[in-house]
């Protein structure tokens, strides 16, 4: 502390001014943050009011045309579009797992050996594709989330508004990822069982007869092996049907929840 009375006085004034400035800055920062939350809340309320009459998330675009500057509606429209694009991409990836030749394969009992061998190769490809489908699905989900988060930042949505939106998306993605993982494993199991079934026919080609829609083998042990393989393939197909129904139910549930979210219900 300076010994000069005037110097001490100037120092006290400087410290007081610094304290006042720090208090004012903190108050200003709080006010700006509070104002941002208020603006987000107002935009959300106005947007949700405009969406009360909609019955489908595709109608958000129509509401946005009436209030194109509303940040909430812009964000919800973008997030809805991103979700639809993600679902379409995941569906496309799912359809690409199985080579088209598998669906076009005829009755194995009248197929040539080369046709059976080609089918078995296609089934192996499908099995490999199935085992890698879950990671690809998760990558698609991550891209969607990153794009939504980036767009929310560009709109300068507040932290609270972004957090609520991303939390909703994360919950939806967790459900999709779980289903994708279980479906991937089930499809791989089915294609593997199908391969084993065709493998028996390839190995016994020329020895069996196909009469009245049934295989007739010269040896009982071969017939037993065939029956075990056929039963395993049938058993492996059951979880796929159940998972497909779960997928349809989940899509409906997620669409309903998203509609409730954007409407603030």
**Treating both helix axes as pointing N-terminal to C-terminal, what angle do 5-50 and 159-203 enclose, rounded to 10 degrees?**
50
Percent over 90 (pLDDT), the chain: 68
What lies within 8 Å, CB to CB, of 68 at 6+ separation is 74
Give the whole-angstrom CA distance, residue 159 versus residue 153: 9
Binned at pLDDT 50, 70 and 90, residue 17 comes out as very low
DSSP string of 159-227, one letter each residue: HHHHHHHHHHHHHHHHHHHHHHHHHHHHHHHHHHHHHHHHHHHHHTTTT-EEETTEEE-SSHHHHHHHH
Supply φ then ψ for residue 235, to 5 degrees. Answer: -65, -35
Binned at pLDDT 50, 70 and 90, residue 93 comes out as very high
pLDDT at 27 over 70: no
Q: What's the confidence (pLDDT) of residue 20?
A: 45
| Domain hosting residue 32, numbered range | 5-263
Q: What's the confidence (pLDDT) of residue 134?
A: 95
Q: Work out how many domains the chain is built from and give that number.
A: 1
More confident residue, 182 or 59: 182
């Amino acid at each position: 502390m300076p010994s000069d009375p005037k110097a001490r006085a100037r120092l006290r004034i400087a410290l007081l001014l610094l304290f006042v400035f720090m208090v004012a800055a903190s108050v200003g920062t709080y006010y700006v943050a509070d104002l941002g939350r208020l603006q987000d809340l107002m935009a959300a309320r106005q947007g949700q009011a405009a969406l009360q009459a909609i019955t489908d998330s595709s109608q958000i675009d129509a509401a946005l045309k009436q209030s194109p500057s509303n940040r909430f509606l812009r964000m919800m429209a973008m997030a809805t579009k991103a979700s639809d694009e993600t679902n379409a991409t995941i569906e496309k990836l799912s359809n690409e797992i199985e080579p088209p030749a598998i669906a076009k394969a005829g009755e194995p009992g009248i197929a040539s050996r080369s046709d059976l061998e080609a089918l078995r190769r296609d089934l192996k490809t499908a099995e490999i594709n199935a085992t890698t489908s879950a990671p690809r699905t998760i990558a698609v989900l991550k891209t969607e989330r990153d794009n939504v988060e980036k767009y929310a930042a560009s709109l300068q949505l507040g932290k609270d508004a972004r957090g609520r939106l991303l939390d909703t998306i994360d919950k939806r993605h967790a459900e999709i990822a779980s289903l994708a993982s279980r479906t991937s494993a089930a499809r791989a199991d089915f294609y593997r069982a199908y391969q084993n079934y065709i493998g028996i026919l390839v190995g016994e080609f020329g020895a069996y007869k196909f009469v009245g829609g049934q295989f007739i083998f010269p040896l009982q042990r071969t017939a037993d092996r065939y029956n075990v393989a056929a039963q395993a393939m049938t058993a492996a197909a059951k979880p796929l049907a159940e998972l497909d129904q779960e997928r349809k139910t989940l899509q409906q549930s997620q669409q309903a929840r998203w509609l409730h979210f954007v409407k603030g219900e």
